[in-house]
């Protein structure tokens, strides 16, 4: 574990000590209620991450004024009425040993009036494509100097409110095309006054907010989150973004958080939240560049979910604190596990979480059905002292085995010669969900899940079907054998994938269609578990569970959810939060 050690050394931000160099970055969950109040689900979600060992929990983006509210069920901080809930949230995070921050972020032109109830405001009246449940082109109102002052005041008031709620620090959202970032990008800021034109002028709005908070809310550390590069013509360039980060240190930022990307990024907005085909540690060199130029701690983000990679980034001096966004959605216990050298449940970088959330749903995850439903599984536990045979080492079988490993005698049998099932093939498909598929992400997920099972004492047998002897004496057989293709496609589709033929020519064009993908992955497949279960040579009294055989056979998220539900017997009514 020595080589990972630096990641778990404490660090201070603005005099506040974090127990290690990991943080949960701001990620919208939609777990607040319709009015923006903290709910039991909000508390349970953040408690799980704090209990998982992270040093700093950044609570999701909350707008300092209602005009900046950009999502339904967005957490509120623009009024004192939110204070009681925010206080409970801070207490919950503190009780679990983490520090608490909250991101102050204003949607600007990306705050639909359907959400905020008012006309969006922005540096300039530049029509802006917005997607929040529905798509629209919003035309914001250009902010007058007086309106700018009003918004800056609102930021200061929100920061003071955060301090009253007990937050250890706040973060200013200066990235991704929200208000501060809109001021920074020449395409979205065409002003001719002191807030537009030169970089110094475009940076004025964000830095003014920072300076005012530092002088008017004493004792509250501020992290400045800067999207250093926008990736579109007329967007902020990397040299400019780095310069703004340096100015933020000059103007009092206690740490600089380095990210990149914007809703207008080319080839796509996904660059903000890089999916699986992007290189791991996507933005680390931006952080390294910033680190050479500033003395305050630098926070890096973007596909740092491999614990060795995260630790190396710290050890190599590329950044001081590792932000783990999707990795902590996929496994809230990433930090304690990585510290112990244990495998973590690896995020696929499939971006279901963000795509689904932007479409209106609460935060959820393909590989971790407990995300956003922490209370549903609260206090539940797996059966004990049973002899369990799991048939199938795909994502559902492995998830189930990993969850029941402790306290049971578990064997996984798969007729293939290794774990992963059809899920490995998914890495060879052109797309998974709405992102380009990449094999290593599936390999890492399956590999680490199998390793977790083995460490938990699970035995594996590959290369042959289960026999009566294998099942003799079993208390429970969990059938997780995945799905078969109908109409003889079982021979065709895997060959298309294995030969990479699906990634070129007409086949690639076909796979580009979500409808075709849906048919090929799910609609043309049928669960095979129930039929197999009927044929198994079982002794009387052996319980049988069929996992992942639901209507949408072959769909990883549903299959993994069925494994969690079978292992942990979720509550029909979520547990109340104490």
Ligand X SMILES: Cc1cc2nc3c(=O)[nH]c(=O)nc-3n(C[C@H](O)[C@H](O)[C@H](O)COP(=O)(O)O)c2cc1C
Please list the residues that pair with 257 across neighbouring strands. Answer: 225, 299
- Binds ligand SF4 (CB under 6 A): choice among 148, 172, 260, 367: 367
Asked if 238 and 229 count as a contact pair (C-beta separation under 8 A), the reply is yes
> Judged by CB under 6 A, does residue 556 bind ligand SF4?
no
Rounded CA separation 405/399 (Å): 10
C-beta closer to ligand SF4: residue 26 or 351: 351
The contact mask relative to ligand SF4 for 307-346 (x = CB under 6 A, - = no) is -------------------x--xx----------------
- Judge whether 445 counts as a catalytic residue: no
480 burial level (CB within 10 Å; 0-12, 13-18, 19+): buried
The one-character DSSP state at 381 is: -
C-beta closer to ligand X: residue 327 or 527: 327
Q: How far apart are the first and last CA of the chain?
A: 36
What tokens were used for 547? Answer: 């996992």
> Judged by CB under 6 A, does residue 557 bind ligand X?
no
Asked if 354 and 273 count as a contact pair (C-beta separation under 8 A), the reply is yes
C-beta closer to ligand X: residue 361 or 516: 361
Among candidate residues 178, 278, 286, 521, the one labeled active-site is: 178
Contacts with 153 (C-beta within 8 Å, 6 or more apart), sequence order: none
> Judged by CB under 6 A, does residue 525 bind ligand SF4?
no
Q: Within 13 A of 241's CA, how many CA atoms are on the CB side?
A: 30
> Judged by CB under 6 A, does residue 365 bind ligand SF4?
yes
- Binds ligand X (CB under 6 A): choice among 8, 13, 23, 28: 28
Rounded CA separation 61/77 (Å): 9
- Binds ligand X (CB under 6 A): choice among 7, 16, 27, 102: 27
Phi, psi of 387 (to 5 degrees): -95, 115
| Only segment of 20-28, 46-54, 369-377, 471-479 that touches ligand X (CB under 6 A) | 20-28
Nearest approach in angstroms of CB 167 to ligand X is 16
- Binds ligand SF4 (CB under 6 A): choice among 366, 404, 547, 568: 366
What tokens were used for 575? Answer: 């547990």
For residue 202, give the nearest of 170, 171, 219, 179 by alpha carbon.
Answer: 179
Nearest approach in angstroms of CB 411 to ligand SF4 is 27
C-beta closer to ligand SF4: residue 115 or 330: 330
Nearest approach in angstroms of CB 30 to ligand X is 9
> Judged by CB under 6 A, does residue 353 bind ligand SF4?
yes
| Only segment of 65-73, 80-88, 293-301, 360-368 that touches ligand SF4 (CB under 6 A) | 360-368
SS3 category, 99 = strand
* Count of positions on this chain that bind ligand X (CB under 6 A): 27
- Binds ligand X (CB under 6 A): choice among 16, 38, 48, 61: 61
> Judged by CB under 6 A, does residue 22 bind ligand X?
no
What tokens were used for 118? Answer: 């008012």
For residue 207, give the nearest of 248, 237, 246 by alpha carbon.
Answer: 248
What tokens were used for 123? Answer: 């540096």
- Binds ligand SF4 (CB under 6 A): choice among 202, 352, 525, 528: 352
* Interaction partner, residue 121 (ligand SF4, ligand X, none; CB < 5-8 Å by kind): none
User: For residue 143, what are the CA distances in angstroms to 115, 151, 247, 497, 539?
Assistant: 19, 9, 23, 52, 75
For the segment 275-314, give every residue that binds ligand X (CB under 6 A).
301-304
For residue 159, give the nearest of 82, 207, 103, 203 by alpha carbon.
Answer: 103
Report, as residue numbers or ranges, the catalytic residues: 178
| Site for ligand X, rule CB under 6 A | 25-28, 60-61, 103, 105, 173, 175-176, 225, 259, 273, 301-304, 323-327, 353-354, 357, 363
Contact residues: ligand SF4, CB under 6 A = 326, 329-330, 347-353, 365-367
């Amino acid at each position: 574990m020595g080589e990972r050690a630096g990641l778990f050394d404490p660090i201070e931000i603005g005099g506040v000590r974090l127990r290690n160099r990991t943080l949960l970055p701001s990620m919208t969950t939609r777990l607040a209620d319709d009015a923006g109040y903290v709910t039991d689900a909000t508390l349970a979600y953040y408690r799980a991450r704090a209990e998982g060992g992270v040093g700093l929990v950044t609570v999701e983006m909350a707008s300092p004024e209602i005009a900046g509210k950009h999502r339904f069920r967005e957490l509120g901080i623009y009024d004192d009425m939110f204070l009681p809930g925010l206080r409970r949230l801070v207490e919950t995070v503190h009780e679990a040993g983490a520090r608490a921050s909250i991101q102050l972020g204003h949607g600007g032109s990306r705050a639909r009036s359907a959400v905020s109830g008012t006309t969006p405001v922005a540096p300039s009246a530049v029509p802006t494509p917005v997607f929040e449940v529905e798509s629209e082109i919003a035309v914001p109102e250009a902010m007058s100097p007086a309106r700018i002052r009003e918004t800056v005041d609102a930021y200061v008031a929100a920061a003071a409110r955060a301090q009253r709620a007990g937050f250890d620090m706040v973060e200013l959202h200066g990235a991704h095309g929200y208000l501060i970032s809109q001021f920074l990008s020449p395409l979205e800021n065409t002003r001719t006054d002191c807030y537009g034109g030169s970089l110094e002028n475009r940076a004025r709005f964000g830095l003014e907010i920072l300076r005012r908070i530092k002088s008017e809310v004493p004792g509250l550390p501020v992290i400045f989150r800067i999207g250093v590069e926008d990736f579109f013509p007329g967007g902020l360039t990397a040299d400019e973004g780095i310069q703004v980060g340096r100015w933020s240190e000059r103007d009092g930022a206690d740490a600089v958080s380095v990210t990149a990307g914007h809703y207008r990024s080319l080839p796509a907005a996904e660059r903000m939240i890089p999916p699986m085909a992007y290189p791991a540690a996507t933005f680390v060199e931006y952080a390294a560049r910033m680190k050479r130029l500033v003395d305050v701690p630098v926070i890096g983000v973007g596909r740092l979910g491999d614990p060795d990679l995260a630790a190396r980034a710290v050890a190599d001096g590329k950044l001081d604190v590792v932000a783990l966004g999707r990795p902590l959605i996929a496994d809230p216990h990433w930090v304690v596990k990585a510290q112990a050298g244990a495998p973590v449940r690896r995020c696929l970088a499939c971006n279901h979480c963000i795509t689904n959330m932007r479409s209106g749903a609460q935060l959820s995850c393909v590989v971790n059905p407990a995300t956003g439903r922490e209370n549903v599984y609260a206090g539940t536990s797996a059966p004990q002292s049973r002899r369990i045979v799991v048939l199938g080492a795909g994502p559902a079988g492995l998830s189930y085995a990993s969850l029941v490993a402790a306290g049971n005698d578990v064997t996984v049998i798969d007729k293939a010669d290794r774990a992963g099932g059809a899920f490995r093939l998914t890495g060879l498909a052109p797309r998974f969900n709405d992102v380009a598929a990449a094999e290593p992400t599936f390999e890492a997920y399956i590999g680490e899940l199998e390793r977790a099972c083995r460490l938990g004492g699970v035995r594996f047998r590959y290369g042959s079907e289960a026999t009566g002897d294998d099942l003799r004496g079993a208390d429970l057989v969990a059938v997780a054998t995945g799905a078969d293709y109908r109409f003889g496609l079982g021979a065709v589709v895997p060959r298309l994938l294995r030969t990479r033929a699906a990634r070129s020519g007409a086949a690639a064009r076909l796979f580009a269609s979500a409808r075709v993908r849906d048919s090929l992955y799910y609609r043309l497949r049928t669960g095979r578990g129930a039929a197999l279960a009927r044929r198994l040579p079982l002794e009387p009294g052996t319980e049988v569970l069929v996992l992942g055989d639901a209507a949408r056979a072959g769909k990883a998220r549903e299959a993994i959810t069925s494994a969690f539900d079978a292992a942990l017997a979720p509550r029909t009514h979520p547990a109340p939060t104490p």
